[in-house]
Each structure stands twice: as structure tokens, then as C-alpha cells.
Amino acid sequence: MKSVLIIDDEPPIRRLLRLTLEPAGYRVFEAEAGQLGLQDAAAKRPDVVVLDLGLPDMDGLVVLQRLREWSTTPVLVLTVRNQEADKVAALDAGADDYLTKPFSTAELLARLRAIQRRAPEAQAPVFVVGDLTVDLAQRTVTVQKSEVHLTATEYALLHELVRHAGKVVTQKQLLRAVWGPKAEEQSQYLRVYITHLRKKLESNPQQKLIRTEAGIGYRLLAD
């Protein structure tokens, strides 16, 4: 049975969605706020998320951006916002599709089927290699079960390496992802922060987790 997480603060909408989705074979989870939705997404690992943008604790775009830091779960935005700018912002933030309220239940089901067919393989929210554990949902990093404090930049760099674990990530890719497109030639930034990460993450100097691929970039071991 496929599962769906509804993140919407309106009880009538959640009830309507449940009445639509359960007969279609979905197991339904509900969250009435953004933070609860993020927690449920991490704990329950739904196959698809239906997300409202107007939430009481944070904007739905923020929820989407935080979810996309660690998850590739398909997301259908379902909202009253019908301006083109809102649609563009949601799609740019990582939404797979966008549907406005009021909506046709048949169209909703069809769109959910479509985004699940296109969905990439889900990324596990916890990455483990050697003594290193990175919980992408909770944004925590531990080495030998002791939490390690990383700066925002260090975490962003590690996150990008984890996303491509086992593969070489070029210097330009890392610079663009962490510092932005204008930093693509600033390789000294990268060398400094890679050194910081190695000092914090590699408990055994003889077993390097972050490998340098000379003249190309860096690779985080996957196993």
C-alpha cells in the first residue's frame, strides 16, 4: 500500500483528502503544521507528500526547501495561491507538481500517480560510513556516536558530498552548490573547508573518508 502525508492546517481539506485517497489505496498520514510535517516525513517515510503553502508555523515553501535538503519524495503542492509567481517559486523550490484549490479529486489522483512514476529513488535520511553518521532529516553529524558541531558552511559542503557519496564531485560543483555561481574559481575556499571537515570527521587519520581526486574534485566514501 502506498502512503501519503498531507500537510495542511484545514481539517475539512484533510478530511476530504482522506476520503479521496483511502479508497484509492493510500495509507494516509496527516500533519496540521509545517514542523510536524517535516517530522512525520522523516519518521514515516511517505511515498508522496501533499503540501499546502499557507501553514500556521512556517510558509509551505520553507517546508519544501527543508524537505529537499534530504528527501526526494514526490511533493504535490495543493493551495489556494494561484498566481504564476507562486507556482514558479514552488516548482523552483523542488515541488513536483502544483494544483490549486478548489480541485477535482480525479485530477488530484492522476497528478499523484504521475509524480510517483517520475520519482527518483528515495534517499535514505541517515547516511553512515565508517564512524561517521549524518542524519539529513535532523541535520546532525556524529563521529563514533559523539555529536560533532559543524558550521553552516561545513554542513552545506558535507551535505553536497553525502548527496553524491561514492562519486567524484568536481570543485566547481561544490563551489557553486555551497558558495554560489560567482565562487566557481575560488578553489581556496574549498581547500580550507575540506581540511576543516577532515579534522572533524576522520577519527582515524589512516582511513580517509574524503578522498581528493587530483585536479578534479573530491569524493566521500560510500562504504
Name the domain boundary from 87, 118, 149. Answer: 118
CA separation, residue 87 to residues 2, 135, 157, 186 (Å)? 26, 30, 29, 34
Do 10 and 109 reside in the same domain of the chain?
yes
Percent of the residues in the chain that have a pLDDT greater than 70, as a whole number: 96
Number of separate domains in the chain? 2
Query: Cα separation of 80 and 10, whole Å?
Result: 12
* Structural domain boundaries, residue 194: 126-220
Do 89 and 177 reside in the same domain of the chain?
no
Q: Which residues contact 144 (CB under 8 A, 6 or more apart)?
A: 131, 203
- Please write the tens of the pLDDT for every residue from 102-154: 999 999 999 999 998 886 655 567 889 888 999 987 889 999 889 999 998 89
Do residues 175 and 189 make contact, with C-beta atoms less than 8 angstroms apart?
A: yes
Do 23 and 106 reside in the same domain of the chain?
yes
Q: Which residues contact 25 (CB under 8 A, 6 or more apart)?
A: 1, 2
Phi (first) and psi of residue 78, to 5 degrees: -125, 110
Do 112 and 169 reside in the same domain of the chain?
no
DSSP for 138-173, written as a single string: TTEEEETTEE----HHHHHHHHHHHHTTTSEEEHHH
| CATH number of the domain within which 151 lies | 1.10.10.10
- Please write the tens of the pLDDT for every residue from 73-107: 999 999 999 999 999 999 999 999 999 999 999 99
Angle at 110 between CA 80 and CA 125, to 5 degrees: 80
**The pLDDT value given to residue 4:** 97
- Residue 157 burial (CB count, 10 A): 26
Name the domain boundary from 83, 118, 153. Answer: 118
Q: In this model, does residue 183 exceed pLDDT 80?
A: no
